[in-house]
Amino acid sequence: MTGKPTIIAAAQICAKDENIEYNLSTHYGLIRLAVENGVQLLVFPEMSITGYVREAASRLAFTQYDARLNELRNLAEAYHMIIIAGAPVRLGSALHVGSFVIFPDHSVSLYTKQYLYEGESDYFTPSSVNNPLLTLDQENISLAICYDMENIQHIMKAIGAGSTVYSASIFYSDDSIGAAHELLSTYARAYSINVLMANYTGHLCHIPAGGSSAFWSSSGERLACLEASKTGLVIGLKENGNWTGETVYEDNYNLFLLL
């Protein structure tokens, strides 16, 4: 008899900068798609709720138990899913780039970006204090936000903590996504760790996003990758000790609902 599979996924969305209501609606749609595919943990791109914002970050900032997260918390509870979504987050007087880890029991944990990209330090404070290690079935999942993964110390800490999955929420452009794929494949192969990556499609800050959200096995093989221009899910599924990958596109799902 085989046990229940472990299913994780990254959501590739087309967000609008500063439009929280619209962006949350895209989250709800991808969560419904994830439910249809048995996903237990779903990760969104960097600052997915607000879009990639700098100048407006202080005005749009969230708190850990912000009321604007309530529907995400309700969905996590209803569907027994861990949801990881991002926004600027204020802790005390400091403003961080954050990922909210929303659990089925309605609780919310935080991951804060540890390494800031050029220009981000004008608006945000880095922090390694908020760095949860998530557990799902037999997997230990560590989180990263974009430029974190460019720093070897970050992946080394994840390995040292016993992580079996490295989950990166990013905003990489069309010009840079190839280098991101090469780096994450190298990490997977060098450290025998599975890697899940969520990126945007569309445009943010007038920059074309690179899409191509993907999942790599611990041998460095890319098991699944989304098309750059489409929204949907890249899924990693572990069954009988083996990982496989697949993609599900939102347009196909919406078409199915109309039939």
pLDDT tens figures, 177-219:
999 999 999 999 999 999 999 999 999 988 999 999 999 999 9
Cα angle at 49 between 23 and 172, to 5 degrees? 100
User: What one-character-per-residue DSSP string does 130-192 give?
Assistant: --PPEEETTEEEEEEEGGGGGSHHHHHHHHHTT-SEEEEE---BTTTHHHHHHHHHHHHHHHT
Dihedral of alpha carbons 173, 175, 176, 182, sign: positive
How many CA atoms does the CB half-sphere of 83 hold within 13 Å?
32
What is the per-residue pLDDT for 252? 63
Q: For 230-255, how does the pLDDT look when each residue is reduced to its tens digit (9 = 90+)?
A: 999 999 999 999 999 999 998 765 53
Distance between the two ends of the chain, CA-based, in angstroms? Answer: 36
User: What one-character-per-residue DSSP string does 107-131 give?
Assistant: -EEEEE-SSPPTTGGGT----SS--
110-135 burial code (b ≥16 CB/10 A, e <16): bbbbbbbeeebeebbbbbeebbeebe
Cα dihedral 182, 226, 204, 19 in deg (nearest 10): -140
Q: Please count the residues of the chain.
A: 259
Mean pLDDT across 162-183: 98
Q: What amino acid is encoded at 76 in this protein?
A: A
Chain-wide mean pLDDT for the chain? 95
Q: Which of 83, 147, 136 is nearest to 112 (CA)?
A: 147
What is the per-residue pLDDT for 251? 78
**pTM, entire model:** 0.95
Banded pLDDT at 142 (limits 50, 70, 90)? very high
What is the per-residue pLDDT for 151? 97
Question: Does residue 81 register a pLDDT over 80?
Answer: yes
Sheet of strand 6-12, all strands in order from the earlier edge strand to the far edge? 108-112, 94-102, 82-91, 41-43, 6-12, 232-239, 242-249
Q: For 47-74, how does the pLDDT look when each residue is reduced to its tens digit (9 = 90+)?
A: 999 999 999 999 999 999 999 999 999 9
Q: For 16-36, how does the pLDDT look when each residue is reduced to its tens digit (9 = 90+)?
A: 999 999 999 999 999 999 999
Mean pLDDT across 163-171: 98
Structural contact between residues 102 and 78, judged by C-beta atoms closer than 8 angstroms? no
Dihedral of alpha carbons 49, 27, 23, 215, sign: positive
Q: Which of 162, 142, 149 is nearest to 114 (CA)?
A: 149
Question: Does residue 258 register a pLDDT over 60?
Answer: no
Banded pLDDT at 125 (limits 50, 70, 90)? very high
Task: Tell the burial category of 59 from Cβ atoms under 10 Å away from its Cβ (0-12, 13-18, 19+).
Answer: exposed
What is the per-residue pLDDT for 1? 42
What is the per-residue pLDDT for 206? 87
